[in-house]
């Protein structure tokens, strides 16, 4: 039976963060009942066309999924378990914001079946939290982490670094504090200016500057060093975990396995009878719900992905992983050999420069290669 | 009108430095003689091209026929031949002057004589012109009429006591200019009954009328319907239209001796109209030809490449169209590893180059890269063969070269004496040899021999900046001389970038090599792989810079399953690479070449 990772998008936030380009909306009153009903209907719709699947993970992302009622989360998990064959060790993650967390809600999510929580801490420094537009303070963040550790078997949190004027020493300091709070997984992202965000406008106006590529590289190297001292290793470009503690859901993306995405703005890659399809739901929550209510699904795009594009996507995602791409799995998934998908001259140049390694089993980017992966991909991928 | 006796014809040109008021004066003359109605008068009627109007220069010769009732009560035909003022167009000037008997020398009464004026005045003297000095802008507070008169006498050796003092701008004393033309210039000579002899002064392509030839009749009559013969090419054509410019085109029945005008004669291409040829009657031909013109020879060459490779065809067509109206520029196909397909183009000088480039951009909407201008070298091979080299990239291996000759110029530079020191230093830096140094009041005139390749390299701009814009400059070609010249190749990751190679004197090779490597280092963005930039003479590296590999370039967060977007970004990145040129593992954005070449190579 083919595996499936399930992504459920909750598109609401209390406020829009200035760096965030995810599909999130601020509403005076969130229409919980309507949204949950639509999610349930869309889940059933998706299950009907996917057929029997081994469900390996569920991920509640957003937006701010910790704004969902724990009872609603329980309903959706129960639906998923009923529609698919959940693996015994299924990973069920919910993203949470330190502001919307209190002990009661956390217990509620745990009781609903969530066994992993990912907290959007972003920083442990007040000035940075203010700059990033976060509504919580460092104290709330620490409290949320500690609470999460008591309640959930697995927990991760996010930090954003390479912020304007952030020094190497400051970051090491902040990161060490974070590592002392962490369990066995952390997501450590360098700040990226995404088009269309408030930061994009402010950055273009010159209100702040980001570290140059050299400082960015130094910060990245320092991050790896500090995390390693706490036993967390970079299994993906921005994700650090102890062995076995990797996010199984995110691994499904990076390994280019099937994942279904439901909810406003969610993306999916699903194998149907006539091939692999890219799916995309309408971004506006109310329009999405209308569509679901009318047609069973809020999908606005269902595009077949050609073998060549599958190969390209598998490369884009797979080389982010430390372990790289399993060549046999790549061929089985895309129907193409890796050599049909990459430029051989660029491969040779990247191997010579120490950016890529390739043997009979796998193709992977070295630590140096992962730091420059966008440029590597630009020359490598056909 | 067509039977005007030669005694009532005056043919003249106007010689002036840029900005000294030639076009304004021409406009006044046209206005005063009623060539155009007030409504038709646009500023600077004769400069048709936008470029001419904007830069205040004349590129192509034009004629205007003025009808003037003089104080003696007689009506005269005054043919004004408007000529280019810049040295690059000296060839056009000499043609125009050959069609006239006299010139107005227009000098700005506040500025005085400039270097460019000199060369053209000397050409007019060589053409046996009667010259009438005209002092313009006498209304300006800074005008110093006695000083400028003195200067004309001292520098040019012309009697300026009878100079006509005017203000073309305000219209002051313009009738005196018309009167001086009648009374002081000689009438043309010519025999109306002799076989036709007319000088072909210029030709151009008009999209409605086809090829138009500008002519000056010496003997006989040129009539509509007549079958004419081009004496040099032997081609014969029936004349379709005969006429004059007033400056509007006005058809006439014929043109007699001393007259200037145009003909159209079902001539297919401008190439069939050899400028300087003698036009005669096909059935009653003249026996001997008029003295023609020396053909123009391009002295500066550069490569022109479309920034967008898809524009190559458009560039070819555009060059073809420009060439129809400007036989003095040459082009041949060229391929560059760095810049793709383009053309190697030859020009009369740097201004000519700039103008053609600007016209291509403006009139034909082309985005172009021009390589550094190069002069024409003569390569003497060890086997005794000699060849001309237009492109540094084509320079043969040093082992087969016996020696190289380079073109020299004789330059006249006029400059206020406070800036003279700086100008002399510049000339000496550029391997100049002083020929003469004279003073006129507080202005000095330095005459230098200079290698032309030192002048195409950033000379004008330096001269302008060190003299705060006061120096004026003019030159004439002055033969070839052997030079210790080397080709400097620029290598990116060991691969030569043909478009950036250049030839320089050995004494400056290293400095220039270092400078271009330094510039490229700043212009080429960091990339996935380390980049070595080298300047080399033959196999010897004379300068080197390294651009380190970029340290970090990766999307931090790739999540949420939106792979399509990531794929689109990759496609965009790949699309961007089409504008890059590959050198080994390195891709250099074309914009970097553009910038490197803009910065005076």
Task: Please indicate if any CB of chain B lies within 8 Å of the CB of A237.
Answer: yes
Å from A370 to nearest chain B CA? Answer: 7
Residue B109 buriedness (CB in 10 A; 0-12 / 13-18 / 19+): buried
For the record, the structure tokens of B87 come out as 């040295």
**DSSP letter string, A166-226:** --HHHHHHHHHHHHHH--SEEEEEE----TTSHHHHHHHTTS-----HHHHHHHHHHHHHH
What are the pLDDT digits (tens) for A113-127? 999 999 999 999 999
Q: Per the CB < 8 Å rule, is B528 touching A376?
A: yes
The arithmetic mean of pLDDT across residues B157-179, rounded, is: 93
* Minimum mean pLDDT range among A41-45, A297-301, B220-224, B326-330: B326-330
ipTM score assigned to the predicted complex: 0.89
Inter-CA distances, B531 with A128, B468, B534, Å:
37, 40, 10
Contacts of B203 (CB under 8 A, 6+ apart): B211, B212, B213, B214, B267, B270, B273, B275
Nearest to A374 among B551, B555, B564 (CB): B555
The arithmetic mean of pLDDT across residues B550-578, rounded, is: 80
How many Å apart are CA B91 and CA B294, to the nearest integer? 8
How many Å apart are CA B217 and CA B196, to the nearest integer? 8
More confident site: B351 or B533: B533
Q: Per the CB < 8 Å rule, is B564 touching A280?
A: yes
Q: What angle do CA A101, A104, A110 make, to 5 degrees?
A: 90
pLDDT score for A143: 94
DSSP tag of A269: E
Centre a 10 Å sphere on the Cβ of residue A233 and count the other Cβ atoms it contains.
16
Å from B528 to nearest chain A CA? Answer: 6
Across-strand partners of B187?
none
Integer distance in angstroms from the first to the last C-alpha of chain A? Answer: 32
Q: Per the CB < 8 Å rule, is A250 touching B559?
A: yes
Predicted TM-score of the model (pTM): 0.67
Integer distance in angstroms from the first to the last C-alpha of chain B? Answer: 57
Å from B535 to nearest chain A CA? Answer: 24
The arithmetic mean of pLDDT across residues B519-542, rounded, is: 90
Longest dimension (CA), chain B: 96
How many Å apart are CA B51 and CA B238, to the nearest integer? 35
How many Å apart are CA B565 and CA B570, to the nearest integer? 9
Å from A344 to nearest chain B CA? Answer: 12
Task: Please indicate if any CB of chain B lies within 8 Å of the CB of A22.
Answer: yes
What are the pLDDT digits (tens) for B255-291? 999 999 999 988 876 667 777 889 999 999 999 988 8
How many Å apart are CA B23 and CA B6, to the nearest integer? 26
Q: Indicate if the pLDDT at residue B51 is higher than 60.
A: no
Locate the chain B residue with the closest alpha carbon to A353: B529
The phi, psi pair for B516, rounded to 5°, reads -75, -35
Are B45 and B111 a contacting pair, CB within 8 Å? no
Nearest to B570 among A22, A191, A316 (CB): A316
Q: Indicate if the pLDDT at residue B338 is higher than 80.
A: no
More confident site: B93 or A113: A113
Pairing mode, strands B485-492 and B502-505:
antiparallel
A 145-164 → B contacts, CB under 8 A? none
Q: Per the CB < 8 Å rule, is B553 touching A372?
A: yes
Q: Per the CB < 8 Å rule, is B570 touching A309?
A: no
**DSSP letter string, B126-146:** HTT-EEEEEEE-TTSTT--HH
Nearest to B560 among A22, A190, A217 (CB): A22
Q: Per the CB < 8 Å rule, is B553 touching A189?
A: no
For the record, the structure tokens of B262 come out as 């145009």
Q: Indicate if the pLDDT at residue B48 is higher than 60.
A: no
What are the pLDDT digits (tens) for B246-255? 878 889 999 9
The arithmetic mean of pLDDT across residues B38-57, rounded, is: 55
Nearest to B561 among A216, A259, A350 (CB): A259
Q: Indicate if the pLDDT at residue B59 is higher than 50.
A: no
Which residues of chain A lie closer than 8 angstroms to B573, CB-CB?
A: 374, 378
SS3 category, B493: coil
Tell me, which fold does domain A3-252 have in CATH? TIM Barrel (3.20.20)
Confidence tier at B1 by pLDDT (50, 70, 90): very low
Inter-CA distances, B336 with B387, B391, B582, B592, Å:
21, 11, 12, 15
Give the CA dihedral B373, B342, B525, B584, nearest 10 degrees. Answer: -110
Inter-CA distances, A1 with A77, A258, A275, Å:
20, 12, 16
For the record, the structure tokens of A380 come out as 């490598």
Are B575 and B583 a contacting pair, CB within 8 Å? no
Task: Please indicate if any CB of chain B lies within 8 Å of the CB of A217.
Answer: yes
Task: Please indicate if any CB of chain B lies within 8 Å of the CB of A181.
Answer: no
Q: Indicate if the pLDDT at residue B317 is higher than 70.
A: yes
For the record, the structure tokens of A298 come out as 């809020």
Q: Indicate if the pLDDT at residue B76 is higher than 80.
A: yes
What are the pLDDT digits (tens) for A187-233? 999 999 998 899 999 999 999 999 998 999 999 999 999 999 999 99
Give the CA dihedral A129, A135, A138, A139, nearest 10 degrees. Answer: 170
Half-sphere exposure of B449 (CA within 13 A, CB side): 9
Going from N- to C-terminal start, the domains of chain A cover: 3-252, 325-380
Task: Please indicate if any CB of chain B lies within 8 Å of the CB of A355.
Answer: yes
The arithmetic mean of pLDDT across residues A321-348, rounded, is: 95
Which residues of chain A lie closer than 8 angstroms to B585, CB-CB?
A: 349
Question: B-side interface with A, Cβ within 8 Å?
Answer: 526-529, 549-564, 566-567, 570, 573-574, 577, 585
Nearest to A237 among B527, B554, B585 (CB): B554
Which residues of chain B lie closer than 8 angstroms to A250, CB-CB?
A: 559
How many Å apart are CA A74 and CA B144, to the nearest integer? 99
Q: What angle do CA B342, B344, B346 make, to 5 degrees?
A: 145
For the record, the structure tokens of B301 come out as 């060459």
* Minimum mean pLDDT range among A188-197, A238-247, B153-162: B153-162
The phi, psi pair for B554, rounded to 5°, reads -150, 140
Closest C-alpha among A313, A310, A315 to residue A369 = A315
């Amino acid at each position: 039976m083919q595996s499936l990772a399930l992504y459920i998008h909750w598109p609401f936030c209390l406020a829009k963060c200035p760096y965030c380009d995810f599909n999130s909306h601020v509403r005076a009153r969130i229409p919980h009942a309507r949204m949950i009903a639509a999610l349930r209907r869309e889940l059933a719709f998706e299950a009907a066309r996917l057929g029997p699947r081994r469900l390996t993970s569920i991920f509640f992302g957003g937006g701010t999924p910790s704004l969902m009622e724990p009872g609603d989360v329980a309903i959706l998990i129960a639906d998923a378990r009923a529609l698919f064959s959940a693996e015994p060790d299924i990973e069920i993650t919910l993203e949470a914001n330190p502001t919307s967390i209190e002990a009661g809600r956390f217990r509620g999510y745990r009781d609903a079946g969530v066994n992993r929580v990912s907290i959007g801490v972003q920083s442990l420094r007040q000035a940075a939290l203010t700059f990033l537009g976060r509504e919580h303070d460092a104290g709330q963040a620490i409290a949320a982490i500690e609470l999460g550790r008591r309640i959930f078997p697995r927990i991760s949190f996010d930090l954003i670094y390479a912020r304007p004027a952030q020094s190497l020493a400051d970051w090491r300091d902040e990161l060490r504090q974070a590592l002392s709070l962490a369990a066995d997984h952390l997501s450590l992202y360098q700040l990226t200016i995404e088009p269309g965000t408030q930061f994009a406008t402010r950055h273009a106006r010159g209100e702040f500057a980001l570290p140059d590529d050299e400082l960015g590289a130094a910060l990245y190297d320092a991050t790896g060093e500090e995390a390693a001292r706490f036993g967390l290793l970079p299994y993906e470009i921005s994700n650090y975990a102890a062995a076995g503690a990797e996010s199984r859901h995110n691994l499904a993306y990076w390994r280019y396995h099937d994942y279904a995405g439901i909810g406003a703005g969610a993306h999916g890659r699903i194998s149907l009878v006539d091939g692999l399809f890219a799916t995309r739901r309408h971004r506006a929550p109310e329009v999405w719900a209308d569509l679901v209510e009318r047609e069973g699904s809020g999908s606005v795009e269902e595009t077949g992905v050609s073998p060549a594009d599958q190969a390209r996507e598998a490369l884009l995602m797979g080389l982010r992983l430390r372990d790289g791409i399993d060549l046999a799995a790549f061929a089985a998934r895309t129907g193409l050999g890796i050599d049909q998908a990459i430029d051989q001259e660029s491969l040779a140049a990247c191997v010579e420069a120490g950016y890529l390694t390739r043997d009979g089993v796998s193709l992977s980017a070295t630590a140096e290669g992962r730091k420059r992966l966008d440029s590597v991909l630009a020359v490598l991928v056909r | 009108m067509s039977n005007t006796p030669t005694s009532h014809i005056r043919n003249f040109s106007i010689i002036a430095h840029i900005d000294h008021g030639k076009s304004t004066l021409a406009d006044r003359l046209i206005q005063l003689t009623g060539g155009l109605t007030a409504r038709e008068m646009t500023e600077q009627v004769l400069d048709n091209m936008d470029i001419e109007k904007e830069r205040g220069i004349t590129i192509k010769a034009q004629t205007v026929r003025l009808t003037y009732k003089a104080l003696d009560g007689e009506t005269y035909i005054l043919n004004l031949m408007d000529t280019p003022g810049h040295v690059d167009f000296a060839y056009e000037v000499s043609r125009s002057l050959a069609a006239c008997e006299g010139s107005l020398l227009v000098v700005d009464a506040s500025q005085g004589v400039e270097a460019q004026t000199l060369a053209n005045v000397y050409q007019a003297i060589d053409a046996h012109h009667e010259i009438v000095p005209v002092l313009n802008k006498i209304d300006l507070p800074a005008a110093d009429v006695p000083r400028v008169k003195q200067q004309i006498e001292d520098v040019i050796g012309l009697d300026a006591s009878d100079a006509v003092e005017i203000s073309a701008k305000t219209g002051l004393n313009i009738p005196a200019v018309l009167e001086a033309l009648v009374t002081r210039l000689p009438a043309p000579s010519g025999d109306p009954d002799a076989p036709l002899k007319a000088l072909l002064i210029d030709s151009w392509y008009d999209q409605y009328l086809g090829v138009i030839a500008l002519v000056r009749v010496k003997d006989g009559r040129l009539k509509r319907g007549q079958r004419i013969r081009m004496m040099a090419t032997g081609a014969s054509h029936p004349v379709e239209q005969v006429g004059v410019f007033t400056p509007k085109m006005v058809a006439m029945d014929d043109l007699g001796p001393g007259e200037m005008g145009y003909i159209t004669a079902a001539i297919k291409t401008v190439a069939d109209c050899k400028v300087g040829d003698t036009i005669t009657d096909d059935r009653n031909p003249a026996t001997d030809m008029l003295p023609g013109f020396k053909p123009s020879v391009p002295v500066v060459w550069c490569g022109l490449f479309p920034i967008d490779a898809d524009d190559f065809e458009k560039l070819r067509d555009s060059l073809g169209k420009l060439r129809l109206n400007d036989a003095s520029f040459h082009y041949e196909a060229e391929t560059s590893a760095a810049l793709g397909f383009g053309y190697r183009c030859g020009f009369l000088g740097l201004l000519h180059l700039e103008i053609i480039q600007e016209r291509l951009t403006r009139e034909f909407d082309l985005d172009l890269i021009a390589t550094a201008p190069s002069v024409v070298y003569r390569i003497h091979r060890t086997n005794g063969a000699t060849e001309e080299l237009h492109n540094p990239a084509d320079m043969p291996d040093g082992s087969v070269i016996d020696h190289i000759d380079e073109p020299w110029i004789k330059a006249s530079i006029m400059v206020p004496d406070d800036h003279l020191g700086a100008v002399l230093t510049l000339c000496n830096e550029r391997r100049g040899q002083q020929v003469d140094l004279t003073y006129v009041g507080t202005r000095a005139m330095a005459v230098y021999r200079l290698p032309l390749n030192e002048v195409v390299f950033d000379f004008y701009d330096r001269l302008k900046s060190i003299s705060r814009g006061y120096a004026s400059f003019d030159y004439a070609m002055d033969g070839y001389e052997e030079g210790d010249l080397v080709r400097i190749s620029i290598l990116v990751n060991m691969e030569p970038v043909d478009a950036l190679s250049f030839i320089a004197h050995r004494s400056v090779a290293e400095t220039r090599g270092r400078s271009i490597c330094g510039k490229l280092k700043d212009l080429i963005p960091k990339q996935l792989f380390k980049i070595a930039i080298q300047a080399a003479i033959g196999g010897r590296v004379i300068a080197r810079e390294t651009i380190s590999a970029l340290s970090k370039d990766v999307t931090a967060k790739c999540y949420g399953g939106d792979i399509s977007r990531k794929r689109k970004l990759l496609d965009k990145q790949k699309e961007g690479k089409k504008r890059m040129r590959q050198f080994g593992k390195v891709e250099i954005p074309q914009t970097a070449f553009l910038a490197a070449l803009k910065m005076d190579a």
